[in-house]
Amino acid sequence: MRSFRTLLAASGVLFSLHALPQAMGNLMYEEQNRLFFQQAEQPVKATIQGNMLVLEVNAMMNATADSYLAIFHIIQLGQSAEEADSLMNSRVNSLIRRVAKDGVKEADVFTDMLSFIPVYEIETTRKLFSTTYQEIPAGFEIQKNIHIRFRDARILDRLVTAAAKEEIYDLVKVDFFVEHQSACYDTLRMFATKLLNKKLENFSSLGLKVAESHRTAAEQNGAYFPLDRYTAYQTRTQSSLNSRRKGQLINDVRKPQTLFYNKVPYGNFDIVLHAEITEPPVQYTYNLVVMCQLPEAFPKKDVKEIIKHVWITDKGEAKILNLP
């Protein structure tokens, strides 16, 4: 039994040592990212310059978007303008019917025309002593963007699948919208003001005459949308479509370059509302700075200016003159 306990304890140590890199993640294997994340953020500190006390509060809120806008790019070629236009409309209308099955209304789909231009080919004419090149019409090209608005982030995968069935593979971007943005800032302002007042009370308890100080304040708002927070990352896994072909090894293995959502770090904030997230949120920030000019610790005494007129006689005597 004793040897079993010893073995169990040793296994626990080995397990904890092995689990540590899993908490770190493969991102740390990349030198630039490792150096970036290992840089300790300097916390915001209260400062005193002379009789000026400066206090700062940083607050953040993670807000889930109320609606989203996915933008797909589509390109269509045709031998004639009519053919290109007909094929484009067929693909777009088919996509609208497909996304309708996922609850997307036709009014939530907008087609943005980008270009409708002729396409040319180079015709080569060879002669005995020369070669000429001439552009000749080959067809027409149409480019459009399709805007699809939706409210449930979980259906984006199905929208991409529906687009792929119409040979639309270019998802340009996804925008996030929060309806009551001002309410987020009001909430952050309320929490930041409450914390700042608490800090002022703490300094008052230390003997500083904060209540008698002259105060000035400033605030600043900010917002970080998911589109701005994705970071490039090279995966540690290797992929290949055909690693074996007729018993022969094919050396076409690659490490895909990908992206991941990298939220704004929490280390520089006094307050973080809705800190636990799964879906990439819109991150609202609020900064509040108050400068308190404290009264002088040793007040200056009033100094009166006294002027006396003295007359020195020829005998060397000093006489005070009372002049008006």
Q: What is the pLDDT of residues 273-320, one digit of tens each?
A: 999 999 999 999 999 999 999 887 666 666 677 777 777 777 777 777
pLDDT at 78: 94
CA–CA distance, 192 with 56 (Å, rounded to integer): 9
DSSP string computed for 182-218: HHHHHHHHHHHHHHHHHHHHHHHHTT---TTSEEEEE
Whether 104 is in a domain gets the answer: yes
Whether residues 42 and 108 share a domain: the answer is: no
If you average pLDDT over every residue of the chain, what do you get?
A: 82
**Cβ atoms of residues 91 and 167 within 8 Å:** yes
* Residues 311-320 pLDDT 10s: 777 777 777 7
Q: Give the span between the Cα atoms of 59 and 223, in whole angstroms.
A: 12
Residue with tokens 């150096």, as numbered in its chain:
35
Q: What residue spans of 54-132 are helical by DSSP H?
A: 81-100
pLDDT recorded at residue 16: 40
Reported confidence tier of residue 20, pLDDT bands at 50, 70, 90:
very low
From residue 276, give the alpha-carbon distance in Å to each of 178, 191, 222. Answer: 18, 18, 20
**Does residue 37 fall inside a structural domain?**
yes
Closest CA to 99 of 144, 168, 148: 148
Cα–Cα distance measured from residue 59 to residue 46, given in angstroms and rounded to the nearest whole number: 16
Q: Tell me the residue type at 161.
A: T
Query: Is pLDDT above 60 for 39?
Result: no
Question: Can you say how many angstroms the Cα of residue 214 is from the centroid of all Cα atoms in its chain?
Answer: 36
In a domain, 321, yes or no: no
Pick left, alpha or beta for residue 230 (phi over 0 → left; psi -120 to 50 → alpha; otherwise beta).
beta
Do 195 and 283 lie in one domain? The reply is yes
Per-residue DSSP letters for 18-64?
HHHHHHH-GGGGSHHHHHHHHSPPPPP--EEETTEEEEEEEEEEEE-
The whole-number average pLDDT for the span 61-67 is 96
In terms of domains, do 186 and 290 share one?
Answer: yes
Same domain, 39 and 77: no
Could you tell me if residue 178 is left (phi over 0), alpha (psi between -120 and 50 degrees) or otherwise beta? beta
Q: Is residue 16 part of a domain?
A: no
Phi first, then psi: give them for residue 161, nearest 5 degrees. Answer: -65, -40
User: 271 is written with which tokens?
Assistant: 């307050």
Structurally, the chain folds into a number of domains equal to: 3
Which pLDDT score is estimated for 307? 74
pLDDT, position 40: 44
What average pLDDT score do residues 58-73 get?
96
Could you tell me if residue 131 is inside a domain?
A: no
- Backbone dihedral angles phi then psi of residue 181, each to the nearest 5 degrees: -70, -40
Closest by Cα among 192, 209, 222, 187 to 290: 192
310 in any annotated domain: no
Average pLDDT over residues 184-196: 96
**3-state secondary structure string, 284-318?**
EEEEEEEEEECCCCCCCCCCCCCCCEEEECCCCCE
Q: Are residues 167 and 184 in the same domain?
A: no
Verify that 82 and 160 share a domain, yes or no. yes
221 in the same domain as 196: yes
Q: Reply yes or no on whether the pLDDT at 138 is more than 70.
A: yes
120 falls within a domain: no
Question: Domain range holding 104?
Answer: 67-113+141-176
Q: Mean pLDDT over residues 186-190, rounded?
A: 97
86 shares its domain with 165: yes
Q: What pLDDT was estimated at residue 258?
A: 83
* pTM of the complete model beyond 0.85: no
N- to C-terminal Cα separation, the chain? 111
Q: For residue 191, is pLDDT > 90?
A: yes
253 and 155 in a common domain: no
User: Which CATH number goes with the domain that contains 109?
Assistant: 3.30.70.3400
Q: Does residue 209 lie within any of the structural domains?
A: yes
Same domain as 200, residue 162: no
Same domain, 198 and 294: yes
Give the integer Cα–Cα distance in Å for 180 and 175: 16
Q: 85 with 208, same domain?
A: no
Looking at residue 254, its pLDDT comes to 64
Per-residue pLDDT band at 43 (split at 50, 70, 90):
low
